């Protein structure tokens, strides 16, 4: 099979896999976020009164929201589906942000590795060999 046809088929397969994964990833993303919140020290709170339940429902879904209460800052992530919220202070929120940054970098590393996996092209098909190219693509230096 020609390298261009192989590259095209690989790209199509990767695109289809990405589409399937993205459809299933919404729930996984929420579960990952909740896991990171707990790992960061956030506490799970279940509202008990109708007023608390109403406040939980009024928070933006899938977002950490900062609120102030008695001159203190709290960060809340609502999980309306399970009638609970993840609550932490500035220290926990900072730890959560650090975990998110580390996870993002790890995810980018995986994406880069997958992208460069295709770069393992068949160098032998480039009609050259070792020592043909020198620095900056110029001719190789003559041996002594």
| Pick from 31, 144, 134: nearest CA to 79 | 31
Q: Is 52 exposed, middle or buried (0-12, 13-18, 19+ CB in 10 A)?
A: middle
Range 58-96 burial, b when 16+ CB lie within 10 A, else e: ebeeeebeeeeeeeeebbbbbbeeeebbbbbeeebbebb
9, 40, 116, 130 from 123: Cα distances, Å = 19, 46, 14, 10
For residues 66 and 90, the answer to whether their CB atoms sit within 8 Å is no
Residue 112: CB atoms within 10 Å: 10
- Reply yes or no on whether the pLDDT at 18 is more than 90: no
pLDDT by residue (tens digit) across 82-125? 999 999 999 999 999 999 888 887 777 777 776 666 555 555 55
pLDDT by residue (tens digit) across 47-85? 999 999 998 899 999 899 999 989 999 999 999 889 999
**What is the rounded distance in angstroms from the CA atom of residue 4 to the CA atom of residue 118?**
12
Tokens at 113, concatenated = 């590795």
- Reply yes or no on whether the pLDDT at 10 is more than 90: no
* β partners of residue 133: 139
pTM to 2 decimal places: 0.57
What was the pLDDT predicted at 19?
Answer: 47
């Amino acid at each position: 099979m020609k390298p261009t046809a192989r590259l095209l088929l690989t790209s199509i397969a990767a695109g289809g896999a990405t589409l399937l994964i993205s459809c299933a990833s919404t729930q996984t993303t929420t579960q990952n976020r909740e896991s990171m919140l707990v790992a960061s020290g956030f506490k799970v709170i279940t509202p008990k009164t109708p007023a608390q339940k109403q406040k939980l429902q009024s928070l933006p879904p899938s977002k950490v929201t900062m609120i102030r209460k008695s001159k203190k800052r709290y960060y809340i992530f609502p999980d309306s589906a399970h009638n609970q919220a993840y609550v932490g202070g500035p220290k926990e929120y900072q730890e959560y942000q650090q975990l998110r940054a580390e996870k993002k970098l790890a995810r980018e590393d995986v994406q880069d590795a997958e992208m460069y996996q295709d770069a393992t092209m068949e160098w032998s098909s480039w009609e050259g060999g070792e020592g043909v190219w020198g620095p900056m693509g110029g001719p190789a230096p003559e041996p002594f």
